[in-house]
Chains A and B, each alone.
Chain A
Amino acid sequence: MTTIDATTATDRPGDADTTPVLRARGLVKTFGRVVGLDGVDIELYRGEVLAIIGDNGAGKSTLVKCLTGAEIPDQGEILLDGRPVHFKRPQDARAAGIETVYQTLAVAPSLDVAANLFLGREVRRKGPLGSVLRITDRAGMRERARRELRELGISTLQDVTVPVENLSGGQRQAVAVARAAAFGSKVVVLDEPTAALGVRESGQVLELVRTLRDKGVPVIIISHNMPQVFEVADRIHIQRLGRRAATITPKSHTMTEAVAIMTGAAEA
């Protein structure tokens, strides 16, 4: 299996810790006779935003699904903090500290902001009220939700008791990102987070991505939007024909060059 990881080593930001937070080697995933991934390598380092770009069918989504437990790779290994992990379900990846924000907003519209932040991870009251009667600690969850939103600088969402359906698209996406940020201790993955949003709302989400990175949580972002990718990413993983064509940075290459690599018009 050929690998092209030489281009990247010098470009990665920060060198306090040289072990990638998340690393995959030689990932292969086939769907019948269709090859989704044909031996992909990827590294994600602490405190960086890594964008994954590629044409339709290049294997972006399959790659991310393998990293987040939504698909099980046929071959290859995934290392989290240097230790091999084997995710069988998205819950496994989540338990390991990898949070994913899906393109289809995974929020329940009629539930309020706090309930959505803690959906599937509700906190119970202390003592017998929680252990016997299984009462959830609503006040505690709301307080923590406010704190998370404040730390992410999302001031427009201070009322965490508002049903999500009353929010704008950008605010809903902010809820989804905040949830990932609150629980994604190791890695946050965003799959086309701005696809459904307007220009201003996209800007808000990208700002959130930077805030997350500055808090030390590495972010993987999949996007079709080149200007956004070049605006927010520290490094750019270019996926082509089920393999990594190159890893570049916004400084080392122009958008045109990136597109050329993506479409196979140029070599990395």
Chain B
Amino acid sequence: MSTSTLAAPGHDPAAEFLDRRTPLERARGVLHRYPALSPAIVLVVSVIVFGFLNDRFLAPGNLSLITQQVAVVGTLAVAQTLVILTAGIDLSVGATMVLASMVMAQVTSAAGVPPLLALLLGLVVGLAAGGLNGLLVTRLKLPPFIATLGTLNIYLAITLLYSHGATVRGGDMPGSMTWTGTTFPVFGVRVSTGVVLMLAAYLLVAFVLARTAWGTHVYAVGDDRDAARLSGISVNRVLVSVYLAAGAILALAAWIQIGRANAASPNVGVDMNLDSITAVVIGGTSLFGGRGTVWGTLLGALIVGVFRNGLSLAGLDVLYQTLAVGVLVIVAVSLDQWIRKVRK
């Protein structure tokens, strides 16, 4: 039986392995430690490339357009990040947002409900939708993919039943409902209020994830559920709270969407599910949970926005944008798999 070398000063058992690593392995180690690094590099490179390809790409007007196009998907992606960090997935983010936006739009235009109350109602819708997802995942123990695939269809059906398929125009709502679409200049670039609200959501979630015990528990639950439970963390409570928080963020996304589109339509935004997942994945958050940051997601959302905008400025058909986003997702997930091999 060997006795201990643990306490021997200056002895580092890892030292003998450190020098054998190739530059590629070292790069992988760095990327593993800083998950937001690879999307940051991709974003900078793609902005430079698209800037060279087309003079108009870096024009203030175009940059403003990109940020506004990113605002809604970017906000959905914050909610999506929270869920994916717990090793879950939320396919109902788009449907929840559309449902909340239709409720907000209808009650203000038809019923004349004051905007503040309407926003609160939207929040209640978001919390209810997220809460139902959370209960399905924790009480019925459904895989998040199945639970939210079900609620995706349920929320869509409710939206169509409730709205009778009709769009509510921005002009029929009080001004504060479309306030999120108003813009103001920042160093010559027009920034919309919705973009500011999206950034506020990122700041808030990033802060909570990094600096509170709840944030640590979110990572722990996604990382190793049994370890979290054995450490005294109430896993189900964390999961439900994550889906509730996602629901609240989706209500914010609904408001931003109304401003962006200057309307609330039951048919717009449903396809944003996959874009939100794309942003999260490109942003370096692992679909296996426990690893990633919302800042990576913001970069991922910007990358998708830059690719779509840049390719369309380059005169390519919208189909090629979709193709490029598809390639991006596959590259990003492959990169993630490769980076995760660092784990022993």
Contacts and interface: CB of A to CB of B under 8 A. Distances in A.
B35 to A, nearest CB: 10
Contact of B224 (A108, A156, A203): A108
B4 A111 contact: no
B132 to A, nearest CB: 26
A134 B214 contact: yes
Contacts of B6: 153-156, 170, 174, 203-204, 207-208
Contacts of A136: 211-213, 216
A135 B212 CA distance: 5
B2 A200 contact: yes
Interface string B198-240: 0000000000000111101101100110111011110000000
Contacts of B233: 119-120
Nearest to B6: A204
Contacts of B323: none
B7 A154 contact: yes
A106 B290 contact: no
A135 B215 CA distance: 10
A53 interface: no
Contacts of A102: 230
B111 interface: no
A121 interface: yes
A207 B211 contact: no
A109 B7 contact: no
A203 B232 contact: no
Interface size range on A against B: 35 or more
Contacts of A105: 227
A168 B224 contact: no
B20 interface: no
Contacts of A90: 230, 232
A120 B231 contact: yes
Contacts of A228: 1
A115 interface: yes
A98 to B, nearest CB: 13
A165 interface: yes
B22 interface: no
A120 B234 CA distance: 9
Nearest to A106: B230
Given A109-B290, A168-B13, A134 B223 contact: no
A107 interface: yes
Interface string A83-124: 000000011001000001010111111110001000111101
The main secondary structure of chain B at its interface with chain A is loop
B30 to A, nearest CB: 12
A102 B228 CA distance: 12
B213 A134 contact: yes
Given A119-B233, A138-B211, A174-B6, A106 B216 contact: no
Nearest to A102: B230
Contacts of A163: 33
Interface in B1-55: 1-9, 11-14, 33
Contacts of A204: 4-6
B214 to A, nearest CB: 7
A203 B3 contact: yes
Contacts of A100: 230
B291 interface: yes
Contact of B7 (A202, A207, A231): A207
A106 B226 contact: yes
A100 B230 CA distance: 9
B344 interface: yes
Contact of B216 (A91, A111, A202): A111
Contacts of B1: 199, 202-203, 206, 227-228, 231
Interface in A139-189: 153-156, 163, 165-166, 168-171, 174
Interface string B255-298: 00000000000000000000000000000000000110000000
Given A110-B291, A204-B6, A168 B216 contact: no
A111 B3 contact: no
Nearest to A121: B232
Interface string B167-207: 00000000000000000000000000000000000000000
A122 B344 contact: no
Contacts of B164: none
B343 interface: yes
A109 B221 CA distance: 11
Contacts of A199: 1-2
Given A122-B213, A199-B2, A207-B3, A91 B232 contact: yes
A90 B233 CA distance: 11
7 contacts: A106-B230, A110-B290, A120-B217, A156-B6, A165-B342, A202-B1, A207-B3
**Shortest beta-carbon contacts, A-B, top 7:** A207-B4, A122-B213, A120-B232, A204-B6, A106-B230, A153-B7, A120-B231
Given A155-B8, A206-B3, 18 more contacts: A102-B230, A104-B226, A108-B228, A115-B216, A119-B227, A119-B228, A134-B212, A154-B6, A165-B343, A170-B13, A171-B13, A200-B5, A202-B1, A203-B4, A203-B5, A204-B6, A207-B7, A208-B4
Interface of A: 90-91, 94, 100, 102, 104-111, 115, 119-122, 124, 133-136, 138, 153-156, 163, 165-166, 168-171, 174, 199-200, 202-204, 206-208, 227-228, 231
